[in-house]
Chains A and B, each alone.
Chain A
Amino acid sequence: MIAAIELIGAWCNFRVRGLGVGCRFFFVMLSKVPVALKRRGLIRDQIHFIGNYSLLIILVSALFLGFVLGLQGYHTLSTYGSEESLGLLVAVSLVRELGPVMTALLYAGRAGTSLTAEIGLMRAGEQIAAMEMMAVDPMARVVAPRFVAGVIAMPILALLFSAVGILGGWFVGVKLIGVDGGAFWSQIQGGLNLFRDIGNGIVKSIVFAIAVTFIALYQGFQARPTPEGVARATTRTVVSSSLTVLGLDFLLTAVMFGGG
Chain B
Amino acid sequence: MNSKRTDLAVGFFVLAGFAALLFLALKAGNLAALTLNRHTYTVTAKFDNIGGLKARASVRGAGVVVGRVERIDFDNKAYQAVATLELNDRFHFPKDTSAKILTSGLLGEQYIGLDPGGDPDMLKAGDRIESTQSAVVLENLIGQFLFSKAADSSSPSGSAPAAQASAPAGALAPPSLALTPSSTSKPAATPAGKVSP
- Known interface pairs A44-B6, A189-B29; 5 further A-B residue pairs with C-beta atoms within 8 A, sorted by A's residue number: A44-B10, A45-B6, A153-B13, A159-B21, A160-B20
Within 15-55 of B, Cβ neighbours of A (below 8 Å) are at 16-17, 19-21, 23-25, 27-34
A202 to B29, CA, bound (A): 14
In the bound complex, residues from chain A placing their C-beta under 8 Å from that of B29 are: 189, 192-194, 197-198
Q: Which residue of B lies closest to A201 (CB)?
A: B24
Q: Of all chain A residues, which has the CB nearest B57?
A: A190
A55 B13 Cβ-Cβ under 8 A: yes
Interface residues of A in 162-204 (CB under 8 A from B): 162-164, 166, 185-186, 188-190, 192-194, 197-198, 202
Q: Is B106 an interface residue (CB 8 A)?
A: yes
Contact A156 B13 (CB under 8 A): yes
Cα distance, A81 to B105, chains bound together (Å): 9
- Chain A residues closer than 8 Å to B13, beta-carbon distance: 47-48, 51-52, 55, 153, 156
B7 interfacial by beta-carbon distance below 8 Å:
yes
Query: Please, which residues of chain A bring their CB within 8 A of the CB of B32?
Result: 189
- In the assembled complex, the CB of B68 is this many whole angstroms from the nearest CB of chain A, namely 9
Residue of B nearest to A92 (CB): B28
The secondary structure that dominates the B interface is helix
**Contact, CB under 8 Å: B14 / A193:** no
The answer to whether A188 and B28 touch across the interface, beta carbons within 8 angstroms, is yes
CA distance A138 to B32 in the complex (A): 47
A-B pairs with lowest CB-CB distance, top 5: A156-B17, A163-B20, A159-B20, A194-B29, A160-B20
| B interface residues, how many (CB within 8 angstroms) | 31
Taking the complex as formed, is B58 at the interface, i.e. its CB lies under 8 A from any CB of chain A? yes
Give the size category of A's interface with B: 35 or more
Are B14 and A163 in contact (CB-based, < 8 A)? no
> Which residues of A61-92 have CB atoms within 8 Å of chain B's CB atoms?
80-82, 91
Residue A91 contacts which of B16, B28, B108 (CB distance < 8 angstroms)? B28
Q: How many angstroms from the CA of A163 to the CA of B17 in the assembled complex?
A: 9
Chain B 91-111 interface 0/1 with A at a Cβ cutoff of 8 Å (1 = within): 000000000000001111000
Task: Tell me whether A150 is interfacial, beta carbon within 8 Å.
Answer: no
A100 interface contact, C-beta 8 A: no
Cα distance A159–B83 in the bound complex, in angstroms: 35
Query: How far is it, in angstroms, between the C-alpha of A203 and the C-alpha of B17 when the chains are bound?
Result: 15
B23 with A52: CB separation less than 8 A: no
Flag if B16 contacts A44 (CB, 8 Å): no
